[in-house]
A and B are shown apart, each in its own frame.
Chain A
Amino acid sequence: MLVSLDKETLFGDIHKEFPTHNGHRNEVSPGGAIIYDSALRLKAEDIGRPDVNLYPIPYVEVLVGALKESGHDKELSKFQVMTNTVAFGASMALVDYDFNEVAEAIKEGFTGRKASLGDLNVKAARHGYDYVKANFKDGFPYKLHPVNSDSKRMLIRGVQAVGIAKFKAGCTFQTYYPITPATDESEYLEHHEKQYDIVVVQAEDEISAILMAAGAAHAGVRASTSTSGPGFCLMAEGLGWASHTEAPGPVIILYQRAGPSTGLPTRTEQGDLQFVLHACHGDVPRMAIAPGDVAECFYDTFDAFNYADRFQMPVVVLTDKFLASSYRTMPIFESTNLKIDRGQMVKESELTNGSNSGLYKRYAFTPTGISPRSIPGMAGGIFHTTGDEHDEFGHITENSENRIKMMQKRMNKLELANELIPDEKKVNFFGPPKADVTMVGWGSTKGAILDGMQDLEADGIRCNFLQVRYMSPFPTTAVTKYLSEAKRKVLVENNYTGQLGAWIRQNTGIAMDYRVLKYNGRPFSQNEVFEGVKDVIKNGIREVVMAHA
């Protein structure tokens, strides 16, 4: 159903040299509906969609009727914006939605001194609703009825799932520099600061943001920063320092947007995977996890804090604008079984105990590479740390043997993480073990791929889907296992170069057979997965670029 408020919605901004879109009328499915303003005086032929139901509604006239009821009909210019509520009410009538629910939803949006506007908007919606009921035969076949559900459902966005995970994980220090689309998360955290004792600091830039968080992590709290690609560019040196000094964090949430540079700042892309894996000079161990949906945003963010403490390195949670901002209805996440693990720490009593006193080594060589950490303020726990290569006490040294051992110690922690974290967390596999097509993807394309799979199945193409969730450490064994059994491997990615495909090949030697890519700043749709995969399979085209707006 398309609810259009103006002509551009229907026909696009085609008068411009480079239109943003060519009219949403083209995107309505056959049998669907278009609601529009009858004041536009459009004939059915103008709209050019004989296969959809048309509902012309005199928006202003209906609104005036609503305003009259409360004596505001002389103030039309002030309230004209409410024609959108008229249209909204009309759309709800078409699907037979319970108007009481509509009224409640509207009122929720107008609280405090705006409450009276809420009542006015309810009236506008009511008049739109009634107009449809009175003037159109009930020809629209799609209806919305309440769903009976055993569990309570939430309306939740990615930024909220990440934020709540941070509270659950005991993150008490968050930094940020304002940037779209990451800032919403920091604002959400700040809003609840008192409830969860979290200090949210707006830094002077992203260099400072990551380093404040690294300093706080070294000082013993769970610390985090959130940003988007341009901000992460500035964080590269801080990432290296945090990793080299084996800070227990920070956790960095990276909401990708279309780059490079300012790119398409309000749109989505999966263009930062390779950057996250390689940011900073030198060999820098870091973890990187890419949740595929809003629920995974919650669980992966929670886990990230445990990993930061256990493996003493920065952890990047790599998501994107699409997941950050999209609302999803989901059952309440199970959170009571999530346990905090602060990793290996020393106790003050051990440090001050006679003979050990003064001998604490913050960077002690151990079989795993993990050195139990102290926290500033602990008696006997004094340590030094530096971005220079250092000895076990954290003092600068260029000794060759020490350098080799320290490199191995730090890098080994990634191997250790790979051993300790089960494959079930690192990859998801959907569909039958044997299939004609194996789709390979990561992050926010998960939803579109799962939906597209059903369409492909219905079309007789048997498929399965490998979702890579952990990028570093890379689940080489699991990915190799699934891909060596795959008949035709189709990479689906929201970027130009197929960055996951390259990372898989680097780690496993396995190359993708086909690629379905999209890099116009828009997320994949279910149709595009279907069409793209069909194209490569049926026509044997090695690479298809999708372009739905």
Chain B
Amino acid sequence: MLELKEYRTKVHNDWCPGCGDFGILNAVQMALFELKLEPHDVAIFSGIGCSGKTPHFVNTYGFHTLHGRSLPIATGAKLANTALTVVAVGGDGDGFGIGAGHFVGAGRRNLDFTYVVYDNGVYGLTKGQASPTLPKGLKTKSMSFPSIVEGINPLAIAVSAGYTFVARSYALDVRHLKEVLKSAILHKGSALVDVLQTCPTYNDINTKEWYSGTDLPTKAPRLYKIEETGYDGTVKDPNDAKEVDEKKGQAIIRSFEWGDKIPIGIFYRCEEPTFEDLIANRMPAYKQVPLVKQSIQDRDVTSLFESLT
């Protein structure tokens, strides 16, 4: 029997006390455990930043890659071995700034993997510069001036790029995050889980208290579960283009809801053929045996030479 501790390593963790990363790390380990995935059948990929150290704390195959480049490396590994469960993690600067092209490219392919973004609005490891999701006009504590560029909406981009599972959760609500992660991992296709996260060291605006709404007259939490308002982001018939468009549209509209009320949950979900499925349509062997298991010894190329004579 697998135990939760088997998903942990003994590597010393040097994240700041109170960092939202801890919640995400726990949720990832719990999700893998509850899905009963053998640690050696899972590979976790990260970029650079505080979040980049995540793989070192999880006892699965772990790839700590370059800034913004976790998705290409994860893509190569998944295509080489489709039997692996592939999870990529990274910060919003890593994924939506320097890695934006790969973020879009990976969504277009609808590869079967899960991308967990630690979204806290700042570059923590380099001491708090504005990151791509920091809204225009805001100034966190180590910035000299308020940001004069727009913050991006990762959910809207993900839906447009072709991610077939798009969700948002909160690092300090580990139960919710764990459940969303499980759905994302089980989903066949590219899944984005954008995790709102506090950075107690550098983001003095979107704090735990702010998310809890203590500054609001109602004192009501800002975050609410989108499905509790009757919202359903799941496409029933992926072949129904009208339904797909409508579901994408409502996901994008709801993703812009921000301020006193912020929805979390699954915004969009649609079962479509994955990149691997489409490769297998052309190369049936690909579905049956992962590339890495195929024999490459003594391949005969004489017919190719003959075709040139």
- Complex interface residues of chain A between 25 and 58 (CB less than 8 A to chain B): none
Given A203-B105, A211-B65, A388-B64; A172-B294 close (CB under 8 Å): yes
- CB-based nearest B residue for A193: B283
Which residues of the partner chain A approach B207 to less than 8 Å between Cβ atoms? none
A211 near B73 with CB under 8 A, answer yes
- Complex interface residues of chain B between 31 and 58 (CB less than 8 A to chain A): 38-41, 43, 45, 48, 53, 55-56
- Complex interface residues of chain B between 60 and 87 (CB less than 8 A to chain A): 60-66, 69, 71-81, 83-84
Q: In the complex, which of the residues B40, B84, B102, B105 contacts A379, with contact meaning CB atoms closer than 8 Å?
A: B40
Q: Measured between alpha carbons, how far is A15 from B96 in the docked complex, in Å?
A: 52
A173 near B309 with CB under 8 A, answer no
Q: Measured between alpha carbons, how far is A222 from B297 in the docked complex, in Å?
A: 12
A219 near B301 with CB under 8 A, answer no
Which residues of the partner chain A approach B286 to less than 8 Å between Cβ atoms? 197, 199
- Complex interface residues of chain A between 150 and 184 (CB less than 8 A to chain B): 152-156, 160, 164, 167-170, 172-173, 175
A168 near B301 with CB under 8 A, answer yes
Min CB distance, A279 to chain B, in Å? 15
- At the interface, yes or no: B59 with Cβ under 8 Å from chain A? yes
- At the interface, yes or no: B304 with Cβ under 8 Å from chain A? yes
Q: Measured between alpha carbons, how far is A143 from B56 in the docked complex, in Å?
A: 71
Given A152-B309, A167-B301, A382-B40; A213-B76 close (CB under 8 Å): yes
The segment out of A112-120, A332-340, A487-495, A526-534 that lies at the interface is A332-340
Q: Measured between alpha carbons, how far is A168 from B62 in the docked complex, in Å?
A: 31
Min CB distance, B268 to chain A, in Å? 22
Q: In the complex, which of the residues A208, A219, A387 contacts B105, with contact meaning CB atoms closer than 8 Å?
A: A208
- At the interface, yes or no: B218 with Cβ under 8 Å from chain A? no
Min CB distance, B278 to chain A, in Å? 11
B75 near A215 with CB under 8 A, answer yes
Min CB distance, A314 to chain B, in Å? 13
Render A69-105 as a binary contact track against B, CB cut-off 8 A, 1 for contact: 0000000000000000000000000000000000000
Which residues of the partner chain B approach A2 to less than 8 Å between Cβ atoms? none
Q: Measured between alpha carbons, how far is A160 from B55 in the docked complex, in Å?
A: 40
- At the interface, yes or no: B285 with Cβ under 8 Å from chain A? yes
B76 near A332 with CB under 8 A, answer no
B43 near A376 with CB under 8 A, answer yes
Min CB distance, A459 to chain B, in Å? 37
Which residues of the partner chain A approach B305 to less than 8 Å between Cβ atoms? 154, 164, 332-333, 335
Which residues of the partner chain A approach B1 to less than 8 Å between Cβ atoms? none
Render A207-251 as a binary contact track against B, CB cut-off 8 A, 1 for contact: 111011111111111110000000000000110010001000000
A216 near B304 with CB under 8 A, answer no
Given A377-B83, A382-B59, A387-B65; A196-B40 close (CB under 8 Å): no
- CB-based nearest A residue for B61: A376
Q: In the complex, which of the residues A155, A175, A377 contacts B84, with contact meaning CB atoms closer than 8 Å?
A: A377
Which residues of the partner chain B approach A173 to less than 8 Å between Cβ atoms? 76, 79-80, 291
Most buried by B among A213, A332, A376, A387: A376
- CB-based nearest B residue for A205: B101
Which residues of the partner chain B approach A205 to less than 8 Å between Cβ atoms? 101
- CB-based nearest B residue for A190: B282
Q: Measured between alpha carbons, how far is A221 from B309 in the docked complex, in Å?
A: 31
Min CB distance, A343 to chain B, in Å? 13
Q: In the complex, which of the residues B40, B299, B306 contacts A377, with contact meaning CB atoms closer than 8 Å?
A: B40
Q: How many B residues touch the partner, as a band?
A: 35 or more
A340 near B84 with CB under 8 A, answer no
The number of chain A residues with a CB under 8 A from chain B is 65
Min CB distance, A6 to chain B, in Å? 32
Which residues of the partner chain A approach B304 to less than 8 Å between Cβ atoms? 160, 164, 167, 192
Min CB distance, B123 to chain A, in Å? 18
B79 near A168 with CB under 8 A, answer no
Min CB distance, B269 to chain A, in Å? 24
Which residues of the partner chain B approach A387 to less than 8 Å between Cβ atoms? 48, 64-66
Which residues of the partner chain B approach A379 to less than 8 Å between Cβ atoms? 38, 40
- At the interface, yes or no: B11 with Cβ under 8 Å from chain A? yes
Which residues of the partner chain A approach B157 to less than 8 Å between Cβ atoms? none
Most buried by B among A160, A197, A215, A237: A215
A199 near B79 with CB under 8 A, answer yes
Min CB distance, A373 to chain B, in Å? 12
- At the interface, yes or no: B104 with Cβ under 8 Å from chain A? yes
Q: Measured between alpha carbons, how far is A335 from B76 in the docked complex, in Å?
A: 29
Min CB distance, B169 to chain A, in Å? 26
A211 near B11 with CB under 8 A, answer no
- At the interface, yes or no: B296 with Cβ under 8 Å from chain A? yes
Given A204-B104, A208-B72, A221-B291; A167-B299 close (CB under 8 Å): yes
A212 near B79 with CB under 8 A, answer yes
- At the interface, yes or no: A380 with Cβ under 8 Å from chain B? yes
Q: In the complex, which of the residues A213, A220, A332 contacts B302, with contact meaning CB atoms closer than 8 Å?
A: A332
Render A389-403 as a binary contact track against B, CB cut-off 8 A, 1 for contact: 000001110000000
Q: In the complex, which of the residues A154, A155, A214, A335 contacts B73, with contact meaning CB atoms closer than 8 Å?
A: A214
Q: In the complex, which of the residues B64, B66, B104, B299 contacts A170, with contact meaning CB atoms closer than 8 Å?
A: B299
Which residues of the partner chain B approach A153 to less than 8 Å between Cβ atoms? 309
- At the interface, yes or no: A359 with Cβ under 8 Å from chain B? no
A385 near B64 with CB under 8 A, answer yes
- Complex interface residues of chain A between 186 and 208 (CB less than 8 A to chain B): 192-194, 196-197, 199, 201, 203-205, 207-208
Which residues of the partner chain B approach A217 to less than 8 Å between Cβ atoms? 76, 80
- At the interface, yes or no: B279 with Cβ under 8 Å from chain A? yes
Which residues of the partner chain A approach B83 to less than 8 Å between Cβ atoms? 377
A386 near B64 with CB under 8 A, answer yes
Which residues of the partner chain B approach A207 to less than 8 Å between Cβ atoms? 69, 72, 101-102
Min CB distance, A461 to chain B, in Å? 37
- At the interface, yes or no: A291 with Cβ under 8 Å from chain B? no
Given A199-B286, A376-B61, A387-B64; A208-B80 close (CB under 8 Å): no
- CB-based nearest B residue for A352: B40
Min CB distance, B57 to chain A, in Å? 10
Which residues of the partner chain B approach A222 to less than 8 Å between Cβ atoms? 296
- At the interface, yes or no: A292 with Cβ under 8 Å from chain B? no
Q: Measured between alpha carbons, how far is A376 from B45 in the docked complex, in Å?
A: 12
Which residues of the partner chain A approach B76 to less than 8 Å between Cβ atoms? 173, 175, 211-219, 223
- At the interface, yes or no: B186 with Cβ under 8 Å from chain A? no
- At the interface, yes or no: B292 with Cβ under 8 Å from chain A? yes
- At the interface, yes or no: A421 with Cβ under 8 Å from chain B? no
- At the interface, yes or no: B308 with Cβ under 8 Å from chain A? yes
Q: Measured between alpha carbons, how far is A35 from B297 in the docked complex, in Å?
A: 52
**Contacts beyond the supplied A377-B84, A395-B11: 9 A-B pairs with Cβ under 8 Å:** A164-B305, A169-B296, A170-B296, A170-B299, A173-B80, A193-B282, A211-B72, A237-B66, A238-B66
| A/B interface sample: 16 pairs, CB < 8 A | A156-B308, A194-B283, A197-B285, A209-B72, A212-B76, A215-B74, A215-B75, A215-B76, A219-B43, A219-B292, A220-B292, A221-B80, A332-B306, A333-B305, A386-B55, A388-B64
Q: Which 7 A-B pairs have the closest CB atoms?
A: A170-B296, A215-B76, A204-B105, A386-B64, A212-B76, A215-B73, A211-B72
Could you tell me which B residues sit within 8 Å of A by CB distance?
A: 9, 11, 38-41, 43, 45, 48, 53, 55-56, 59-66, 69, 71-81, 83-84, 101-102, 104-105, 279, 282-283, 285-286, 291-292, 294, 296-299, 301-302, 304-306, 308-309
